[in-house]
Structure 1
Amino acid sequence: MATLNEKKTCSERMENFRRFVWNPETKLFMGRTLINWVWISLYYLAFYVVMTGLFALSIYSLMRTVNPYEPDYQDQLKSPGVTLRPDVYGDRGLQIYYNTSENKTWERLVTTLQTFLTAYTPAAQRLNINCTGDKYFIQDTFDGPNNTKLSCKFTSDMLQNCSGIADPTFGFPEGKPCFIIKMNRVSTGRRNICLQCSRDFTSFCSCCHRAQPYYFDRIKWTREFLLKPRLPIKR
């Protein structure tokens, strides 16, 4: 009994562990022969290859059932039909305020508009076409570059006084700022989205980005927002 309860020294434990890892007498590596380890490795390799293949096949089959001309991400809530630029406050709201006599209070707003309109330069829309008419530009074929649909051209010079060409400050120093309304594309169906429309519907898009990769959302300028001057605080 004394022998059974006798504690092994650290060197004895290390020796037993060494013999477990490699036993020179039985030629076993961690309790198994070399050929056994080869078969085990091949089994798990084949197992994970098959599992990976089944997973890839299921993902591929699922993606084949998805319409490539529908938006990738959709929700029960509809996307906003229009958005406003400049939008420098994000989720904090659309209340825009600045001091006409202090450039630093409106320079960021002007920079935001200039950056936004870079996509509406003639060079950026050189692949688009001029559209005319009072109906939707319906395309049943893919006649555009790389087997895509054509997009209507809409450049910043169509914004007239708010194009940023004649007035790079967009009227902010004079207290008559330009606001740009961006009309988001329509992914399903065709709707009459109008803000006192006097132009045609041809440049409204009812396709996804893959079908019309060169499409840019329609924009409209206005200075008719409610502008309220802020009175100085009396001390």
Structure 2
Amino acid sequence: MMSSDTTSSYFLFYLVFYGFLAGMFTLTMWVMLQTLDDYTPKYRDRVADPEYNESAQDKNEQCPEGVYFEQDGVQEKKVCRFKRSLLRQCSGLADSMFGYSEGQPCILVKMNRVIGLRPRGDPHIICGAKRELPLQMQYFPSEGRLDKTRICPPVVAVKLLLAEEDYNSELVIECQVEGSDLRTTMTVTSS
């Protein structure tokens, strides 16, 4: 049988011991969290793009064309302005059906954002149908080039110029973003 002094000394020892372990765990978590940047997402593959809002675009920066919008020393990053009118015929402004009612549908191709990636070379979009005959297409903006200075994340509209024999049939269209350090493909089915 243990005396009350022995029991209380065991209780005090384990209270101090587990209190020390909890304090050590809390300290290591605090030190680890101090190394994380508040402006860099922790799960970079799960960053959702904000919804597009035309009126909010006026608050964004007018970025210079043809150069990267470098913001290395700034904590809170600014966003480049993107107006839907850049997508011309595929903007949805003049035709809310995006060309589907005329048999010339527009497909919006968006490259996934990779934080910190600056593609080398001149990345561009190439689309084609998986069939024997070539398919006519138009690219907006600027011939399928991904203009990183105006579009974030890069968006390109591809207008399919279908022939009448293509109507009411399923077509498999494959669009690839090509660049010297990009390895991404995307397949879109249009019917």
Q: Which of the residues 92, 95, 99 maps onto 1:167?
A: 95
The separation in 1 between residues aligned to 2:33 and 2:161, in whole angstroms, is 45
Q: Does 1:43 align with 2:10?
A: no
SS at match of 2:102: coil
Question: How far did 1:218 drift?
Answer: 2.2
Which structure: larger Rg? Answer: 1
| AA in 2 matched with 1:220 | V
Structure 1 residues 52 and 198: alpha-carbon distance in aligned structure 2, compared to 1, 3 A threshold = same
CA offset at residue 123 of structure 1?
3.0
- The amino acid of 1:179's aligned partner reads I
Mark the CA change 1:65 to 1:225 in structure 2 (over 3 Å): closer, same or farther.
farther
Distance 2:38 2:124 in 1: 28
Report the CA distance between 1:54 and its aligned residue: 1.9
Tell me how far 1:132 sits from its aligned partner.
Answer: 2.6
Query: Would you say the 8 A contact 2:104–2:161 is kept in 1?
Result: no
Cα RMSD between the aligned structures? Answer: 3.7
Shift, 1:137, TM fit: 1.5
One of 154, 167, 176 as aligned partner of 2:104: 176
The TM-score, its normalising length taken from structure 2, stands at 0.56
**Bigger strand fraction:** 2
Structure 1 residue 36 displacement after superposition = 4.7
Mapping 1:1-235, distance limit 5 Å: 36-65=6-35, 72-73=42-43, 119-142=51-74, 147-191=75-119, 192-195=122-125, 196-197=143-144, 200-203=147-150, 216-224=152-160, 228-230=166-168
Q: Secondary structure at the match of 1:42?
A: helix
Deviations along 1:5-46, one digit per CA (max 9) or x if unpaired, are xxxxxxxxxxxxxxxxxxxxxxxxxx6555555443333332
State whether residues 135 and 200 of structure 1, in contact with CA within 8 Å, keep that contact through their aligned partners in structure 2: no
Structure 2: 5+ residue stretches without partners: 126-142, 170-191
- 8 Å CA contact 2:105–2:161 kept in 1: the answer is no
In structure 1, the gaps of 5 or more residues are 1-30, 80-116, 205-215
The DSSP-based 3-state class of the residue aligned with 1:137 is coil
Q: Deviations over 1:111-143 (max 9, x none)?
A: xxxxxx98222234454211132111122432x
TM-score by length of 1: 0.47
Rounded to whole Å, the distance in 2 between the matches of 1:118 and 1:177 is 25
Aligned residues: 146
**Matched residue SS, 1:179:** strand
The amino acid of 1:172's aligned partner reads Y
